[in-house]
């Protein structure tokens, strides 16, 4: 699964730590998601999309092998 978390963070000018605090996870979790090493739960994906004010589909995208 690909995501635009790093891009959306840059647009909002927030750090990984800022995002992590706002959605209740560790900075390492944000880093793992941005590196495509961790696929978030549905709840976490919804929290992220709500924070960025965009639909989940604009933040996360399934890849062919998913």
Q: Find the helix or strand (DSSP H, E) in which 2 lies.
A: strand 2-3
Contact 46, 32 (CB under 8 A): no
**CA-wise closest residue to 21 among 13, 29, 10, 32:** 29
Per-residue pLDDT of the chain (66 residues; tens, 9 = 90+): 999 999 999 999 999 999 999 999 999 999 999 999 999 999 999 999 999 999 999 999 998 887
The region that residue 24 occupies, defined by phi over 0 for left and psi between -120 and 50 for alpha, beta otherwise, is left
Within the chain, residue ranges assigned H as helices are 5-12, 16-23, 27-34, 42-52, 56-59
């Amino acid at each position: 699964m690909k995501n635009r978390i790093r891009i959306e963070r840059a647009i909002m000018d927030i750090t990984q730590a800022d995002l992590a605090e706002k959605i209740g996870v560790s900075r390492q979790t944000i880093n793992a998601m941005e590196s495509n090493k961790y696929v978030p739960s549905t709840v976490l994906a919804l929290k992220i999309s709500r924070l960025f004010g965009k639909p989940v589909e604009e933040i996360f995208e399934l890849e062919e092998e998913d």
